[in-house]
């Protein structure tokens, strides 16, 4: 497990936040948030969201199968949305603040994912990086309706317009998904500061490179994003997905 965040080469401060947390049963939760809003309100939104997730997760137990994992996400992400919305309304300097969120609960042979906004989760095998989340963005809606191509979307002037964020409205649409895995690999959660700069082919290359220690893989990805411009904050969390031959062990 490795988590790292960097303000990049252009921004004066870091509005991203995140972490990897373990609950009472030893189950792992990884989270990445990309805050937004005037002044430093983006920092406030992402920091408060992560703090709440961490506290709730560390007190939780019996979240070791997909159904309770999805219920847990639905309950606490909705709660965070409400908390952020109320905080923004009570603090004038935080009006309009919000944050994206991607989160993953890793169980034995399954991963449950939750997602709001345009931060992303990928599953990385030896051969490919597969994006598991679908960006909740204006431009992605254009792609889905066939108005523009995926290639056009990469350079669209309104690429950063997101349709959902935590804290901006009273209610929020949370995308939930559970996948099973039967081969070893990696789960990568990141803000768009990474995914806009480093492609899936490079994710595969870095994560499967035995010459780069696991603890240094996030740093290598962030370094590449900075080499390619680093215009945004960059955050990455990586979980190993291991498969045991003996299911009883």
- Residue-level pLDDT at 38: 61
- Residue-level pLDDT at 158: 83
Closest residue by Cα to residue 46 from 103, 106, 92, 8: 103
Q: Can you give the residue ranges of every domain in the chain?
A: 2-241
- Residue-level pLDDT at 247: 44
Q: What is the three-state SS of the chain?
A: CEEEEECCCCCCCCCEEEEEEECCCCCEEEEEEEEECCCCHHHHHHHHHHHHHHHHHHCCCCCCCHHHHHHHHHHHHHHHHHHHHHHHHHCHHHCCCEECEEEEEECCCEEEEEEECCCEEEEECCCCEEECCCCCEHHHHHHHCCCCCHHHHHCCCCCCCECCCECCCCCCCCEEEEEECCCCEEEEEECHHHHCCCCHHHHHHHHCCCCCCHHHHHHHHHHHHHHCCCCCCEEEEEEEECCCCCCCC
Query: pLDDT tens track of the chain, all 249 residues?
Result: 999 999 999 998 999 999 999 999 999 999 999 999 765 699 999 999 999 999 999 999 999 899 999 999 999 999 999 999 999 999 988 888 999 999 999 998 899 999 999 999 999 999 999 999 999 989 889 988 999 888 888 778 887 788 999 999 999 999 999 999 989 999 999 999 999 999 999 999 999 999 999 999 999 999 999 999 999 999 999 999 998 754 443
Identify whether the C-beta of residue 4 lies closer than 8 Å to the C-beta of residue 233.
Answer: no
Domain 2-241 has what CATH class? alpha beta
- Residue-level pLDDT at 171: 94
pTM here is 0.94
- Residue-level pLDDT at 248: 40
């Amino acid at each position: 497990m490795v988590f790292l965040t960097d303000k990049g080469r252009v921004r004066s401060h870091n509005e991203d936040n995140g972490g990897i947390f373990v609950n009472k049963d030893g189950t792992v939760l990884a989270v990445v948030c990309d805050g937004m809003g005037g002044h430093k309100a983006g920092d406030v939104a992402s920091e408060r969201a992560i703090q709440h997730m961490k506290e709730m997760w560390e007190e939780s137990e019996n979240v070791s199968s997909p159904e309770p994992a999805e219920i847990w996400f639905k309950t606490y992400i909705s709660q965070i949305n409400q908390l952020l919305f109320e905080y923004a309304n009570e603090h004038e300097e935080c009006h309009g603040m919000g944050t994206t969120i991607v989160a993953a609960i890793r169980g034995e042979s399954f991963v449950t994912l939750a997602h709001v906004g345009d931060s992303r989760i990928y599953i990385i095998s030896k051969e490919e990086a597969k994006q598991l989340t679908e960006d909740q963005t204006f431009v992605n809606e254009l792609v889905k309706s066939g108005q523009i191509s995926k290639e056009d979307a990469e350079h669209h002037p309104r690429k950063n317009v997101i349709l959902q964020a935590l804290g901006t409205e009273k209610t929020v649409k949370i995308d939930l998904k559970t996948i099973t895995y039967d081969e070893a690999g990696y789960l990568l959660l990141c803000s768009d500061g990474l995914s806009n700069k480093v492609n899936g082919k490079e994710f595969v290359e870095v994560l499967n490179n035995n010459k780069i220690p696991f603890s240094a893989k996030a740093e290598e990805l962030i370094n590449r994003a900075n080499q390619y411009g680093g215009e945004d904050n960059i955050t990455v969390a990586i979980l190993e997905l291991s498969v045991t031959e003996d299911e009883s062990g």
